[in-house]
Structure 1
Amino acid sequence: MFSNNSSPLLIAEIGGNHEGNFDYALELTRLALKSGADAVKFQIYTGDTLVSSVESPDRNSHFKKFELSRDQHLALAKMVLDAGKFYVASVWDLTSLDWIHPYISFYKIGSGDLTAYPMIKAIVAKRKPILLSTGLATEDEVKKCVQYISDSDTFYKLPGNLAVLQCTSMYPITQGDANLHVMSRFQTLFNLPVGYSDHTEGSLALEVAVAMGAQILEFHFTDSREGKSFRDHRVSLTCEEVIELRAKIDSIQALKALMKKCPYQ
């Protein structure tokens, strides 16, 4: 799944940008498929399983508004798969794993779940490729999680079944806070495919990540950033911008290929 392809895997993260509106989720999915992204990603949770209504009633209410039903998630998954693309989800609820599993192309463990070992254990048991994000973790926590997954099943020692993403969990971040050099550190530590999950504005960080060897790019996706109050829209790319990004990636890869052929290195 995650390998040294000539072009990185592009993941359009719709996430919560549908804001709980299923018709809007369908439109965003249609646009993500049109953009040429390789995978379309969602987040599966319920407000009550994610945030305590007693401890944090406002956040609980927020996430409840962003919920989609089981049938709606399944309809979106089928739409993506029928288009010949990968359907991906961060699943934040153990009870949802069984019904979404047949549709999942690979699992994304989000930054907030990197130390959630009961969830990680359940995902590992599904024996599908795992993409691990690291935005809220220390290096030691990333090491322990990679080791845990690798030791749990030899499936994750096979090439392409486990990958690690550099991520900075703020919305938005400055270019400098992207910390793209961490990808090189991860490659040295783990000898696994590495990539970058973006929270900057625009596509420059994604382009530089490709030049630095990123094999996976994840970016938030929207139809437009205009007039949107939910924070994730601000760090999202549109359909046209993803098409432009793909063209820039092709140019970057062509330039890198020419460098390899240079006889004066």
Structure 2
Amino acid sequence: MPWSGRIPNTASTTCCSFCKLITGDGEDAAMNLFGRYLDNDVAVIAEIGVNHEGSVESASTLLRLAAEAGADAVKLQTYTPSRFVTTSNQQRFERVTRFALSRQDHLRLRDEAAELGVSLFSTAVTEDVVDFVATLGPAVKIASGDLNFRPVLEAAMRTGKAVILSTGNSTLDEIDTALSWCRDASGQQNLSDRLVLLHCVASYPAPMHDLNLLSIPFLKERYGLPTGYSNHAVEPEAVIAATALGAQVIEVHFTDRRAGRTFHDHSLSFEPEEMRKLITGIRAVRAACGQYGRPVLPSEVALRPLMRKGVVAARDLPAGTVLAAGDMAYARPATEFNWSDVDGLVGRQLIVSLHQGELIPAAGVAPAGN
């Protein structure tokens, strides 16, 4: 269920409910995003952002490298410069303008992504580009800085596409309000098939001690929405930990190389081989998390009798011995009798001879009553 206005007492969250949050088990987690069902998988986004620095050729290269590394989706940033930043800071405005890709560039990259088998989508940084961004792929991203900007949120929800909303530098009241706007704009009370929340720490780069990754299960419990993690840390361990804590979507900044780059986003971005290893780690950790419960797993079944205590001869026993409790002891494996069968063996006759320590074979004991 989506958030109802009740703020849960997280101090009393049970281990049971916490584990369900981590594994994704529950009624809200069946969203399909970028070809991944989020109830039992993780969608990985390679965030190019503006690391192409305005070159569509560079963006094309990054797109290909991200696809080769195993990303499910590649994300850009789309905006109208004059609606993004003020002209009062002329240096920043000129950089933002220089880094902006044209709509034709976006469409070229969309087509290339389709050929590579990877999803392309973008952050709609300004409200006037939302409808165009919705034509690029299956989702529209809203940056942390615009969580409290109603025009872009409402426009994104009205597209009918999935909306991914980062929560960096936001209070709970601000998130509550943003989700109210999203529900109103979409006409849906339950947004679990439309909206993904991403825990994010807005600092660049974010130090490990500030990541507060427990916000991932907290947000998932509070709002009942698919929840993920937008990474601004340079350490890969942050992403692996987020996966173990139940992140269903992982967004990681991506570059072809950090060395020699002056634009700051490159410094916290993962290079192609790092991204490949990271995605391998994400997949392995999510598989290791499994599902809520305690089943005997297929890989364990054959080991069960080998790990359990069986019944052995406590001394040398000739054929014809009528077994007494003192004739039997316990040792692995339980491939013939289990230790718990001892009471049923008392009074039965051996039809084979046994040395001390040998397993008492099922075929070596006369049927009961003989």
Same fold (TM over 0.5): yes
Match of 1:87 in 2: 120
What are the Cα deviations for residues 124-163 of structure 1, in whole angstroms up to 9, with x where unaligned?
1111111110112111101111122123324572533111
Q: Is the 8 A contact 1:44 1:92 kept in 2?
A: yes
SS of residue matched to 1:157: coil
What are the Cα deviations for residues 7-65 of structure 1, in whole angstroms up to 9, with x where unaligned?
31000000010111221111111101111100000000132221121x22222112112
Q: Distance in 1 between matches of 2:223 and 2:291?
A: 28
Q: Is the 8 A contact 1:39 1:87 kept in 2?
A: yes
1:50 pairs with 2:84: yes
Match of 1:75 in 2: 108
Q: How many residues align?
A: 262
More relative contact order in 1 or in 2 (CA 8 Å, sep 6+)? 1
Amino acid at match of 2:286: Q
Amino acid at match of 1:234: S
Runs of 4+ aligned residues of structure 1 deviating over 4 Å after TM superposition are none
Match of 1:183 among 185, 193, 216: 216
Is the deviation greater in 189-198 or in 241-250? 241-250
RMSD: 1.9
Match of 1:173 in 2: 206
Q: Tell me by how many angstroms 1:121 deviates.
A: 1.3
Q: Tell me by how many angstroms 1:87 deviates.
A: 1.4
Amino acid at match of 2:38: N
Q: Is the 8 A contact 1:127 1:155 kept in 2?
A: no
Q: Is the 8 A contact 2:83 2:126 kept in 1?
A: yes
Q: Is the 8 A contact 2:134 2:161 kept in 1?
A: no
Change (3 A) 1:156 1:162: farther
Match of 1:209 among 226, 242, 252: 242
Trace 1:102-251 onto structure 2 (pairs within 5 A): 102-155=135-188, 157-251=190-284
Q: Taking structure 1 as the reference length, what is the TM-score of the superposition?
A: 0.92
Match of 2:75 among 28, 41, 47: 41
Structure 1, gaps ≥5 residues long: none
Structure 2, gaps ≥5 residues long: 1-31, 297-370
Considering fraction of residues, name the structure with more helix: 1
Percent identity of paired positions between Structure 1 and Structure 2: 34
